[in-house]
A = this chain, B = another copy of it.
Amino acid sequence: VPAERATSTPRTRGADLHLELPAEPAGGLRAGVMEALREAVRTGRLAPGVRLPSSRSLAADLGVARNTVADAYAELVAEGWLTARQGSGTAVARRASPRRPAAPARTGPSTTGPVHDLRPGRPDTASFPRAEWLRATRRALATAPNSAFDYGGPRGRIELRTALADYLARARGVRATPERVVVCSGVLHALQLLGGALRARGVRSIGVEAYGLGGQRAMLARSGLRTPPLPLDAHGARTDDPAGLAGLGAVLLTPAHQFPTGVALHPDRRAAVVDWARASGGLVLEDDYDGEFRYDRHPVGALQGLDPEHVVHLGTTSKALAPGLRLGWMVLPGSLLAEVERQKAGQEFTTGVVEQLTLAELLVSGGYDRHVRARRLAYRRRRDQLVTRLAERAGGVRVAGLSAGLHALLELPPGTEDDVLRAAAWHQVAVHGLDRYRHPDADPLPDALVVGYATPSASAWAGALDALCGALP
Contact = CB atoms under 8 A, between A and B. Distances in A.
A337 B153 contact: no
Interface string A152-185: 1101000000000000001001011101100001
Interface residues of A, number: 105
B150 A323 contact: yes
B125 A147 contact: yes
A324 B75 contact: no
Contact of A179 (B104, B131, B173): B104
A348 B188 contact: yes
A101 B138 CA distance: 35
B175 A101 contact: yes
A326 B306 contact: no
B298 A75 contact: yes
A338 B141 contact: no
A88 interface: no
Interface in A186-235: 186, 188-189, 192, 218-219, 222
A30 interface: yes
A309 to B, nearest CB: 6
Contact of A109 (B93, B153, B278, B318): B153
A355 B186 CA distance: 16
Contact of A322 (B107, B150, B323, B324): B150
A216 to B, nearest CB: 12
B186 A348 contact: yes
A142 B94 CA distance: 49
A79 B301 contact: yes
Interface string A77-107: 1111101000000000111100111111101
Contacts of A60: none
Contact of A325 (B170, B275, B352, B457): B352
Given A109-B153, A270-B79, A346 B222 contact: yes
Contacts of A415: none
B334 A104 contact: yes
Contact of A79 (B185, B305, B326, B338): B305
Given A150-B323, A152-B323, 4 more contacts: A75-B297, A107-B341, A322-B353, A354-B358
